Structure 1
Amino acid sequence: MNKQSTIDDFELVQVPDEAKRSWHVISLIWLAIGIDISGLFLGAFLSSGLSINDALFATFMGSLILAVLAMLCANIGFQSGVSTPLMSSSVFGRNGGKILGAINGISLIGWFAFQADFFAYILVDAFAKYNLIMPHIIALIGGGILMMITAIYGVRALGKLSTFSVPLMITLITIGLIMAANSQSDSEHIITSPLSMGEAISYVISIWILAAVAAPDIARYAKTRKDAILGAGFGFLFGNSATIVVALLLTQLTGSDNLVDVFFSLGLGIAAIIVLVFAQWTTNSSNLVSGGLGMSVVLPKIPRPALVAAMTVIGLGIAQFGMIDLFTAFLTLLGVTIAPSAGVYLAQYYFLDKAALAYERIQTAPAWMFKGLFSWAFGSAISACTAGEFFNLFSITSISAIDGILASFVAYYLLTKLTASDKENQHAY
């Protein structure tokens, strides 16, 4: 029984009070997820397109937008106490929630594969600098097992890992920044691929917007509403921006955008490897945690740990056999599809009937709720029309995922109000 309770992530029920945590633990989880290698590379990319001041502004503005969205979603997660796909049953119906869970789960298998492969390549290169040969498949499987074990134990394991890893990573990165400042390069910062401010903010938001709309997965563990909101806000504002800012500063100080090389050149090779391992460990474990929650809604009779293990094996297979490039366009499509779902439950909670997202109502949701499904589909279509990777027909905010969220929000609000007016008119006659 003790073993079962340890690995129980409460995927189909409310999180009990004894398992809940305060805001600083929630924040550490988001900080750990936010400190990842892709953020470092995004910072280097922004540095090539903007001045340092403009790049910093874009980073903090994008992170602020993400933080606000995450706080709004986290507040709903605290209210319901359940995972995002299960919570969404209140606006899409039980089967609609399963659709979202399946899309989310498949998407996160792909992102797990991408991040695991990325981790393996960088780890192999890092060890090669010490003339140590590590086969790619060993790095891939070893990293995948670390990530899988944490994900099997769920959000609480992420919290324990984050409590240890975040202070360590921040300390090592700070040391790297101080040493880089002391050996500052005289090279002039050159903009090679100019970016507009809108494009830069869009890139910053895009990297973590799916995590923001899935904030209820973590926020359901908050002790109080304040803990849920503060944890998400602090975690996204600083977690999302931290690694991007570090990359910007290191690039500015050293003139190099290869940040692993920068750390090795400063004599911090071991630190670079430690940061790499912990950064990808926490981030990719969170992909498996959220993916497992989504698939548990789809396949409730299969134990969540078994689903996490299966997702890991599939993801490692995708990475090892070079299918990631074929999967990328599909992942982008799924991203365009997932984000607009948030617009529906944001409209329901903040402008229509928040009681609909209470756990008791979620349990009695009908099989299908077509107003929510239509609004979600409409938002996804708008997102695809404004996305540069797809149709690129027009632009609303310059951020296609935000466009989709706004579109689904407005569509659901109007449909709900119009159908309510029709019912009132019928009763009047």
Structure 2
Amino acid sequence: MNTPGTSVPAGTTTSGATEVVDPDYPVTPVPLHARKSFLSLAVVLLGFTVFTPTMLAGAQLGAAFSLSQLVQVILLGSLVLGVYVAVLGWIGARTGLTTVVMSRYVLGQRGAKLASVLLGGTQIGWYGVVIGTIGDLTAQALEWESYPSRAAVMIAASVLMCLTACYGYRGMFWVSAVSTPLILVLAFWVLLRSLEEVGGWSGLAEVDPSTSMTWSVAITTVVGTFVSAGTQAPNWTRFARTGSHAVLACAIGFLVGNGLMIFFGATGAMTFGEGDFVLVLYNLGLVGWGLFLLFGNLWKSNADTAYAFGVAGAELFEKPSKLPFVVGGSVIGTGLALVGVQNHLVDYLVLLGVFIPPLGGVIIGDYLARWRAGMPEGLAIAPFHWVNLGIYAVASALAWTANETGFFVPPVIGVLVALVLALLAGRQQAQRAG
């Protein structure tokens, strides 16, 4: 992990020895000549997080909190998520590596398979949630009753998203560049319509909660909306030319973009009783615009998701190309959608908010302790780094306990415990090696 594009992970070869098969460099550092501009990176990450299913999580919050409390919950949760992702994004820019390949240094050559399964598997689950949401909302808009009609939409949408992911960074950039501005304009317009329904901001502030939710669960839900994808932010920030570009792009995407989508969903629930702007548009009689928002938004976001599990699969099986894993994961995700995985979204988000952040915490702590000054070329990596694997297990157990008992904020506990323990263990190892 020297300067970007100079180190080579164990188990890989340079292009001088083996021709690079995949231009997105899934298992090797992104070379300097392949790095992207800040604008390009910001467009991709903002397009990733402007994601309509996030509104469904916001709807759960909107029904449980007053406006002032809602804003506080979203700000706190988005801040936790944004800082966490920005640090990982900075590391990705410094190393030029994906999260799962960085995990080889942290968890060991074989231990890193845990990260590949955990991150790749959760992204396949998200992919299924999105495909299922597309099928259900399209059927609702067009008043289709038959299951085969919904299934056909799911399969067709999945094929389109899979093909976009196969084109890699370039395909995701152009889809995001076209659809994200249009979607944001439409979302803000519907927000104004929502305010008209309740008499402005003062009327919105007077809406009483209809359900209850603890603050720890609420913040965990906000973090959980994108903590799995955020942990894989290096998949995209490794294309950044500088660490500062990566940090700022992550802040725009995960702090601003994700926070806005949660807020939009919450206000929709408070005014129309619907958390998804697609359904709000349907209620306003704008079925065509609703379908545009649905397909434009979920197309780009799910292409990013397919890309993420594609590079995770490439690391898991130590292959130089992501393509077969993009296709295979898309098939599995579509199968999950066909059996209704989208109906269990909130429970899924809480689960991600508990078990994913400790992995990022271990990576951050170990990097800060051992690798900031660079990693020697040709470094032999042990099959398992048992200390860091144990730290992940302890941090995950504490986060799960916090979630079960309602103590503090489980994702924060998971990240901080993992980060501090990995930092201390890494420094001791560095001192012994020195």
1:294 and 2:324 matched: no
In the alignment, is residue 379 of structure 1 matched against residue 395 of structure 2?
Answer: yes
Task: Write the deviation string for residues 365-412 of structure 1: whole angstroms up to 9, x where unpaired.
Answer: 332222222212222222222223xxx4x73xx322322222222222
Identity of aligned residues (%): 24
Structure-2 change in CA distance of 1:423 and 1:183 (3 Å): closer
Which residue does 1:404 correspond to in 2?
414
Which residue type is aligned with residue 117 of structure 2? A
**Alignment-derived partner of residue 202 in structure 1:** 220
Q: Which runs of 5+ in 2 are unaligned?
A: 1-18
1:77 to 75, 85, 92: 92
Question: What's the secondary structure of 2:291's corresponding residue?
Answer: helix
Instruction: Tell me by how many angstroms 1:413 deviates.
Output: 2.7
When normalised by structure 1's length, the TM-score is 0.86
C-alpha separation in 1, matches of 2:195 and 2:345: 40
Match of 1:267 among 282, 285, 291: 285
Q: Helix, strand or coil for the counterpart of 2:111?
A: helix
Larger displacement relative to structure 2 (235-244 or 21-30): 21-30
Equivalent of residue 368 in structure 1, options 367, 384, 405:
384
8 Å contact from structure 1 (residues 9, 153) kept in 2: no
2-side partners of 1:199 and 1:331: how far apart? 10
Among 223, 228, 231, the alignment partner of 2:241 is 223
Give the 3-state SS of the residue equivalent to 2:261 in structure 1: helix
Cα offsets for 1:202-243 (capped at 9, x unmatched): 221121122222211111011222211110111111111111
How far apart, in 2, do the equivalents of 1:70 and 1:422 lie? 31
Separation (CA, whole Å) in 1 of partners of 2:342 and 2:137: 16
Quick one: distance in 1 between partners of 2:80 and 2:117? Answer: 27
Quote the residue 1:168 is aligned against: 182
Give the aligned residue type for 1:155.
Y
Relative to structure 1, the CA distance from residue 413 to residue 307 in structure 2 (aligned partners, 3 Å threshold; closer, same or farther) is same
Which ranges of structure 1 fall in alignment gaps of 5 or more residues?
Answer: 425-429
SS in 2 for 1:368: coil
Alignment partners' CA distance in 1, 2:378 and 2:140: 48
Counterpart Cα distance in 2 of 1:199 and 1:108: 22
1:95 partner SS: coil
Counterparts in 2 of 1:81 and 1:132: CA distance versus 1, 3 Å: same
Structure 2 contact 124–309 (Cα < 8 Å) conserved:
yes
Paired residue for 2:112? 97
* Matching of residue 135 in structure 1 with residue 144 in structure 2: no
Computed over aligned residues only, the root mean square deviation of the Cα atoms, in angstroms, reads 3.1
* Larger CA deviation: 323-332 vs 414-423: 323-332
- Aligned partner of 2:5 in structure 1 is none
Alignment of 1:47-66 (within 5 A): 47-66=62-81
**In 2, Cα distance between the equivalents of 1:405 and 1:61?**
15
Out of 342, 348, 361, which is 1:343 matched to?
361
Q: Which residue in the other structure is 2:13 paired with?
A: none
What secondary structure is seen at the aligned counterpart in 2 of 1:355?
coil
8 A contact 1:347–1:413 mirrored in 2 = yes
Q: Which residue of 2 aligns with 1:41?
A: 56
- Measured in 2, the distance between the counterparts of 1:177 and 1:326 equals 26
Structure 1 residue 55 displacement after superposition = 0.6
Change (3 A) 1:50 1:328: closer
Cα distance between partner residues in 1 of 2:351 and 2:265: 28
What is the identity, as a one-letter code, of the residue corresponding to 2:387?
A: K
Q: Aligned pair in 2 of structure 1 residues 254, 163: CA closer, same or farther (>3 Å)?
A: same
1:223 and 1:421 map into 2 onto residues whose CA distance is 32
Q: Select 1:119's aligned residue among 120, 134, 147.
A: 134
Matches within 5 A, 1:157-196: 157-184=171-198, 189-196=207-214
Equivalenced residue count is: 412
Evaluate the alpha carbon distance shift between residue 273 and residue 102 of structure 1 in structure 2; reply closer, same or farther with a 3 A threshold. Answer: same
Q: Against the structure 1 CA distance between its residues 385 and 257, is the aligned structure 2 distance closer, same or farther, given a 3 Å change threshold?
A: closer
Alignment-mate amino acid for residue 379 of structure 1: A
